[in-house]
Structure formats: C-alpha cells, structure tokens
C-alpha cells in the first residue's frame, strides 16, 4: 500500500491512531447497548454511535484530513514522532471509513428504532475491524479495497 510519491501519501500511523480511538468509542457503545432501552447507558451508546458515525462520514466523504481523529494525530501526536518510513495511499483507508460508516449507520438506526440486537451485531462488527487495525495494523476495509481493485482489473 505504500506509494512512491511523498506528496500524495499519508502517514500510516494516523489511521491506526484513529482506529485506537474508534475501538474505545465502539467498545463503550457495544457494552452500553446491552443496557435496557431508554436507560441512561443505552442513550449514551446512541450518542457515542452518532459521534462515531459522524467521524466515519467525515473520513469517507471529505477525506481523512477532515476527520477529527486525524486532526488530533497531526496536531498532538505526529510532531512527537520521527517521520514515517513510508507513506500510504489514502484511498484504502478512506474506503475503510466508508465501510465503517455503513456499519455505524446500521447500528445507530437500529438502536434508535428499537432493534438493539441488530445494533449490537453491527457495532460488534465495526469494533472487531477497528480493533484489528489498532492492535495488529490489519485494516479489513483496506484489504477489501485492494481485493476490489484486483478484481476490477482482471
């Protein structure tokens, strides 16, 4: 996924940093969705899902530079690190944001309209993907993007 052009690439540590925050937000949402509907915990889960849905939407639609987690990384974390050894094409992580957005929208709508089991499953799927990226640098959405590109060029 690395690029030869330093101008067009992104620091691959940025999306991974965002995945750490996303994992925390989704883990809290996942746990709180198990509380009774209408309870404070359930309502907090809905708010957290709404925030994460917005973050995914910004990343998917406006690009990773518009995402708040990316801003936090660029402003506070990256200045304290050495330059990245290689840069990454921003298209696969942006696609991954779109996949995350799809799961978050399903989770949020399901939670709001009284289908907590669907919300828990959708949140769990997004949580697993975010955790894999945060812990092991395995971006499932990025891999889906690359497989799609390979299939499209056959």
Are 29 and 49 spatial neighbours (Cβ–Cβ below 8 Å)?
A: yes
- Predicted model pTM: 0.93
**Could you give the count of Cα atoms lying within 13 Å of 51 in the half-sphere of its Cβ?**
15
pLDDT over 70 percentage in the chain: 95
Q: Are 14 and 111 in contact (CB under 8 A)?
A: no
pLDDT tens for 142-152 read 999 999 999 99
Indicate if the alpha-carbon torsion angle 41, 43, 64, 142 is positive or negative: positive
Confidence of residue 7 (pLDDT cuts 50, 70, 90): low
The model's pLDDT over 85-131, given as tens digits with 9 standing for 90+, comes to 999 999 999 999 999 999 999 999 999 999 999 999 999 999 999 99
Q: Are 33 and 120 in contact (CB under 8 A)?
A: yes
Write the CB contacts of 93 (distance below 8 Å, at least 6 apart in sequence).
Answer: 10, 15, 59, 64, 139, 141, 142
Q: Is 90 helix (H, G, I), strand (E, B) or coil?
A: coil
What three-state secondary structure class fits 10? Answer: strand
Residue 127: what pLDDT?
A: 99
């Amino acid at each position: 996924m690395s690029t030869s052009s330093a101008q067009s690439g992104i620091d691959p540590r940025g999306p991974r940093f965002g995945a750490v925050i996303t994992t925390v937000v989704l883990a809290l949402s996942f746990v709180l969705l198990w509380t009774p509907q209408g309870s404070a915990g359930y309502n907090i889960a809905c708010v957290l899902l709404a925030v994460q849905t917005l973050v995914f939407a910004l990343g998917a639609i406006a690009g990773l530079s518009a995402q708040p987690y990316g801003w936090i990384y660029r402003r506070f974390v990256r200045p304290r690190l050495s330059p990245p050894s290689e840069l990454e094409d921003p298209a696969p992580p942006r696609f991954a944001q779109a996949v995350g957005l799809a799961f978050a929208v399903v989770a949020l709508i399901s939670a709001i309209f009284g289908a907590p089991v669907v919300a828990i499953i959708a949140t769990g799927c997004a949580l697993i993907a975010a955790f894999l990226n945060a812990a092991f640098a395995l971006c499932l959405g990025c891999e889906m993007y690359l497989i799609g590109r390979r299939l499209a060029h056959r």
